[in-house]
Structure 1
Amino acid sequence: MGKSPEAIPNRLERGEPADVVIMVGYALDELIKEGKVVPGSRVELADLRIGAVVRDGAPKPDIGSVDGLKQTLLHAKSIAYSHSASGVYIERELFKRLGIEDQVKVKVKMIPKIPVASVVANGDYEVGFQQVSELRPVKGAAFVGKIPESMQSVTRFAAGIPVGAQHPIEAKPWLDYLASPEVQPVVTSTGLDSATTH
């Protein structure tokens, strides 16, 4: 989404051919409302949850409970989080919900354009937060775990077929396949959560 030339709505507006769009669920709903994606073609694909990393070899903090997460944030020397939806949630809501906004504001940094785990891996930040699937592939960073479910901001990914798609008949079974039980082990291996299990 967004206003950049590469954003899916702008590409569809320009008439770029696409048989399928995969994106954040609420954004896909907007395209359906605007008549750009076929109503009824939406398929639920996966959920993204926020997790944390530390540098390889560093002690892994306890973030599995709300108090553990709060203590981790209070005691960390520096905290990085992403420029995406998860980072906006962390900055605007999570710190407030934990009651630590004032205590952490001097040591937090939103990281644009690059994986948060990369600035933790190189030692610039002690702990980093981003969607799990974005954290896991970065070498030099150790995955700690997901933040507690009561503090989560879950991002649903969904797919649909654009109005005017050249191959809508072929697109439908492919989307059904991506959402099928047989694909779920691949989905979960990437750090995503199956949309059907939550």
Structure 2
Amino acid sequence: MTNPILKSGDKLVLASHNKGKLAEFSSLLADFGITVLSAGDLDLPEPDETETTFAGNAALKAVAASKATGLPALADDSGLCVSALGGAPGIYSARWAGPDKDFPAAMARIHEGIGEDERDAWFICVLCLAFPDGTTRSFEGRINGQITWPPRGDKGHGYDPIFTPEGETRTFAEMADAEKNAISHRARAFKSFRESCLD
């Protein structure tokens, strides 16, 4: 790329208070010489996710963080979509787990809402890069798979124990982090972001 949008030495705000995400993105961006600061470390408020799409919510978070800091900001919005539930929980994936992040209950709700033969599901991740002037670039990643019941595995987070990606016999929660991160929806979105924005 002749003119990368982000260059070695740049600072980038990750519009998230999630320490796991900060570690993941810091590691992904370290090779490019980019310093990642988190919204949590900068005491930025978490904006209400009021949009109706992954792209809308990612943009809302990235734009808010960029305007507050005067730095480029990267946000992601992701979730599990289940065909038999009309794409739910989708953008409400975290909210289905409630304020106490009760993912076992959220996974049971999915299982109870679908039939034995209605297993198609997919994870979506949209990354949005925003600049202080309000311009944004978005990148989407998707991985198809099946809902598995009962839940299996103790790695990963969220809905990983009930999602088996296409071509696999293991759930995300049965894979080592490096294996999951090589094929996940977030990895696919990051690949598009990297090819478009990094040197």
Shorter-chain TM-score above 0.5: no
- TM-score when normalising by structure 1: 0.30
The structure, 1 or 2, with the larger RCO (C-alpha pairs under 8 Å, 6+ apart) is 1
Rg larger in structure: 1
